[in-house]
Structure 1
């Protein structure tokens, strides 16, 4: 349960891949297809865990250092793009997502999207799901190729979450309402770099990982929740501070189904 000294939540900020929709599994299908075509094994979760949540350029360096494919990177991207155009439009909401977003809306909680996916891939994954993404107006969608995020400042840096909050506060200020503090935000993430970025932004965090990712970090869950896994390696001075073990600012949930909003001061208890 959230600690009693934490701020009441006024805004919920969401990652997308593997958190709102099942696109992480689709990424795996596309990547493994190319690997198999060149006699390479499946992408292991020890590597995939490092790719999740990161901006494309950083993830690509990690992947290719492991994959050692006998083709150029351009050939790999061309083939992967073909497969993604085939599979991404099949993406579906993960369990509990639509209900959670509706409950947040009904309780007047402000919402924004902060994803490392660039605009082209975002469209492939979202165009067929208007009932989900209508909860996030265009001005409150921060994508991985947003020009306002400096190169190299994607997750696990905190910039994308702080920018998402800035868009919400801009709207509130225009209406004469009190801006939201980072501590009044609840970040929803599936990736380890994403959790660290949320903690470095000074926000409360929900970690809802893929079952295979959770196995990969078995015994290190508290490190992940505190943002202390060392995912951020450059620019430490300007990256914001992670949390501390057991500080109550982050929580692990295995599904967004029946999410306990009341424990974050959202909604009312049933009599």
Structure 2
């Protein structure tokens, strides 16, 4: 657990969410949902509900949404409409401001990178096939998707498992090269969602929270709770969670599974990924070869 008494070490690895963080797909999800709601004279999806859906695996998000929407559709009918609209809109995704420059600069500076997205393979391909160049800094072995069989059922975000798996993929590559492994506290998680922010903090990692402006309005006055991972998005029993996710970390510097503390210095709120402050995280210039 991070605390004010344990300042964060320099960053060696950056782990990225995708939807709403790297690409504008969160806005497309909203368009898809609102079209279906409008067909049945339902109001548009409010950000108070959308905030609960972001970052979560599809089944969990679906339960939350349907409890609120009360649409006169079977699950199969809704999925059919949703999938048709997603196939139409997802191939139009675009990188968010500052993202291409950030990924290339991190690569140039020698930072290890991995992707950890709740999107399943079909939707991932729809959103990324036309912008594959954007994801070039992520090696295929370092891309973890929401339907990865290595993530136990029910352990998607806000549980920490996906981030720990992304780190494991990096350390597997480093071990093959005979290089020292990366510890969780040397990782910087990039997230836009609140459940994702909590999962990153519960993974024992540092955090950059870069939310949608409308999401930031929902959490106005609670920003510090989000940064510490203290919003209570993870509903499982605390003892059960620790039992299943705690891992040994070299030098005994931290325990995975716990959130952080308010103002512990391990998390940062950014309005945009443009003009990223590399030096704040100990990411220095790498000499040109």
Q: TM-score, normalised by structure 1?
A: 0.97
User: Residues 246-265 of structure 1: matches in 2 within 5 Å?
Assistant: 246-265=263-282
Q: What's 1:30 paired with?
A: 32
CA distance in 2, matches of 1:159, 1:97: 25
CA distance in 2, matches of 1:28, 1:178: 42
Alignment RMSD (CA, Å):
1.2
Aligned residues, how many? Answer: 267
**Alpha-carbon contact 2:155-2:161 (below 8 Å) kept:** yes
Q: What's 2:52 paired with?
A: 50
CA distance in 1, matches of 2:7, 2:176: 30
CA distance in 2, matches of 1:49, 1:233: 16
1:241-265 Cα deviation digits (max 9, x unpaired): 0000000100100000000001111
2:77 is paired with a residue of what secondary structure? helix
Aligned-pair distance for 1:267? 2.1
What residue ranges of structure 2 are gaps of 5+ in the alignment?
A: 243-256
Aligned-pair distance for 1:235? 4.2
Q: What's 2:147 paired with?
A: 145
User: Residues 168-179 of structure 1: matches in 2 within 5 Å?
Assistant: 168-179=170-181
1:120 is paired with a residue of what secondary structure? helix
Find 1:198's aligned residue among 197, 200, 204: 200
User: Residues 4-15 of structure 1: matches in 2 within 5 Å?
Assistant: 5-15=7-17
CA distance in 2, matches of 1:253, 1:34: 32
1:170-197 Cα deviation digits (max 9, x unpaired): 0000000000000000000000000000
Aligned-pair distance for 1:105? 0.4
Aligned-pair distance for 1:227? 0.4
2:52 is paired with a residue of what secondary structure? helix
1:122-151 Cα deviation digits (max 9, x unpaired): 000000011111111111010000000011
1:198 is paired with a residue of what secondary structure? helix
1:181-216 Cα deviation digits (max 9, x unpaired): 000000000000000000000000000000000000
1:128 is paired with a residue of what secondary structure? helix
User: Residues 61-210 of structure 1: matches in 2 within 5 Å?
Assistant: 61-210=63-212
What residue ranges of structure 1 are gaps of 5+ in the alignment?
A: none
**Alpha-carbon contact 2:7-2:265 (below 8 Å) kept:** no
Aligned-pair distance for 1:71? 1.1
Find 1:244's aligned residue among 240, 253, 261: 261
Aligned-pair distance for 1:6? 1.4
Q: TM-score, normalised by structure 2?
A: 0.91
Aligned-pair distance for 1:5? 2.6
1:113 is paired with a residue of what secondary structure? strand
2:207 is paired with a residue of what secondary structure? strand
**Alpha-carbon contact 2:158-2:195 (below 8 Å) kept:** yes
Aligned-pair distance for 1:234? 1.1
CA distance in 2, matches of 1:251, 1:265: 14
CA distance in 1, matches of 2:281, 2:233: 27
Q: What's 2:284 paired with?
A: 267
The runs of at least 4 consecutive aligned structure 1 residues that moved more than 3 Å come to none
Q: What's 1:228 paired with?
A: 230
CA distance in 2, matches of 1:141, 1:157: 18
